[in-house]
Amino acid sequence: MKKRTFVRTLVGAAVLAAFSGVAYSQQTVKIGLLATLEGPFAAGGADGMRGAELAIKQKNGMAGGRKIELIKASSDAKPDVAVNATRKLVEQDKVDIMVGPLSGGEGIAVKEYSKTQPNITFINGSSGAQATTLVNPSPNFFRFNTEGAQWMVGLGKAALDKGYKRVMVIAEDYAFPYSQVQGFMAEYCRLGGKVPVKAWVPLGGKDYASVIARIPKDVDALVVVLGGADAVNFLNQYEAAGGDKPMVGGSITVSQDILNYKGKRRDSLVGTIAGSPIADAYDAPEFKAFVADYQKNYPVSAGGYPSPSLFALVYYINMKAALDGLDAVKGDLSGGQAKYREALQKMTLKTPVGDVRLDANRQAIGSTFVTEVVKDAQGNLFNKVLRRVDGIDQMLGMKKEEFQMGSRDVPSCP
């Protein structure tokens, strides 16, 4: 009996939930928020949600005179799951604005889905694949964050300044690292650098012995574009194999977990340069205010990070864009949200890391940082800002004709 009651309660609740999406007051604006709360990017997804919530909190839950109702959904970094979750938010929960998803493959899939919902405005979460806005862009998908290739601008020059004339690339084998490597190589190759070998390793790979064996003797540095655990695994094995080449990092390579790395090669991390849209030690007042606000709302004791992650910043930026857009049109979403979209398109968004505008494909033109790992007085490693590069567009400053999207073989300068 108990079991039956339980199942009935559950089914009843599910039915209730299914039909609760019908009646709504005109006053609230519903915003759907999608991030990965499961799977490989679960920690990043949770921090992304914190960033998005912070943007709403800062406005006391109001934008354009209307109350904001946030409806969250989760995926596990798989495109089909992301589309299912988005479809539920849009068609079942009837959100007006959609913010998300987190990762590259998901972003492309959600962008494709957005074309079937022309009356809803989609704003990216933190997905950074180039193709999302370059190939078959969707008229109602906006991305206020710069993407993987843009984040690496300035790094090629910094590497040459360090005297790295030949480098080997070691990167995970999917869209986001392709973009990152392209962003690095476009500049590096143009300025005369050489990349004789590129090693593409599977995401979540554990064994790097074959890659380490392929590192040529005559390269000056390794460009390592690996995420969290992959990067730590690689470092450990490279150390065990007696490697001593300096590193150049991708945007999610030299994160805090790498800097807390305890191996013997720890000191050799000092001097590692990387490109990233966020730099912990950036000292602009807007950024410091953002970090302080994050720390106040999400102290470490409540599950927050000591300093907001890339995902928190990028979700914050995109949610802030959604809310600022509502302010600009005073909450007017009528006419298939035409006015709202026009406002988004024209807006110059103030973010903690500088102003952002959109290009014709609704992709952000913004700033990025070149950082370097340094040791402070207490012996802790942190990322120092070497340089801030402004006004980077998706073509990376190239002409449309000569720009080629990053892939395994593009660009190439052996």
Partner 1 sequence: MSAAEWRNAMNAGVGRLAMGKPVKAPALQVKPHAFQSPIGLRHVVVLAFLLAFPLYATPFLTFQIGAQSLALGLVALSLTFLGGYGGMVSLAQMTVAGIAGYLVAILGASASADTSISLGWPWWLAVLAAVIVATACGAFIGWLAVRTEGIYMIMITLAVGVAFYYLCLQNYSVFNGFQGFQRVKAPTLLGLDWREPVLFYYLVLFWSLAGYLFVKYLIRAPFGVALQGIRDNPRRMNALGFHVTAHRVAAFAVAGLIAAVGGVLLVWYNGLITPNSVGTSWLINVLIIAVLGGLRHPIGPFIGAIVFVLLQTFAIDLIDRERFNLVIGAVFLAIVLFSPDGLLGLWAALKTKFSTPRGGLK
Q: Which residues bind partner 1 (CB under 8 A)?
A: 3-4, 6, 10-11, 13-14, 17-18, 20, 37-38, 46, 72-74, 78-80, 83-84, 87-88, 91-92, 105, 108-109, 112-113, 131, 135-136, 173-175, 202-203, 405, 407-408
Give 391's DSSP letter. E
Look up residue 336 and give its amino acid.
G
Radius of gyration of the chain (CA): 22
- 8 Å CB contact between 203 and 174: yes
Minimal distance, residue 13 CB to partner 1, in Å: 6
Q: Report CA-CA distances (Å) from 26 to 96, 118, 287, 333.
A: 11, 20, 35, 11
16 versus 213: smaller Cβ distance to partner 1: 16
Q: Which spans in 88-206 are helix H?
A: 104-114, 131-134, 155-161, 175-190
85 versus 279: smaller Cβ distance to partner 1: 85
Q: Report CA-CA distances (Å) from 411 to 133, 226, 359, 401.
A: 19, 19, 23, 14
38 versus 376: smaller Cβ distance to partner 1: 38
Number of Cα atoms under 13 Å in the Cβ half of residue 380: 6
39 versus 243: smaller Cβ distance to partner 1: 39
76 versus 327: smaller Cβ distance to partner 1: 76
- Cα 302 from chain centroid (whole Å): 23
80 versus 286: smaller Cβ distance to partner 1: 80
Q: Report CA-CA distances (Å) from 32 to 64, 80, 120, 168, 322.
A: 17, 17, 11, 42, 11
Minimal distance, residue 3 CB to partner 1, in Å: 5
90 versus 343: smaller Cβ distance to partner 1: 90
CA angle (393 as vertex; 392, 398 as ends), nearest 5: 100
The encoded tokens of residue 196 equal 């004789």
Q: What size, in residues, is the chain? A: 414
2 versus 400: smaller Cβ distance to partner 1: 2
Minimal distance, residue 339 CB to partner 1, in Å: 27
Interatomic CA distance for residues 280 and 301, integer angstroms: 20
Minimal distance, residue 48 CB to partner 1, in Å: 13
301 versus 348: smaller Cβ distance to partner 1: 301
Name the pairing type of β-strands 221-225 and 247-249.
parallel
Nearest by Cα to 189 from 160, 162, 161, 163: 160
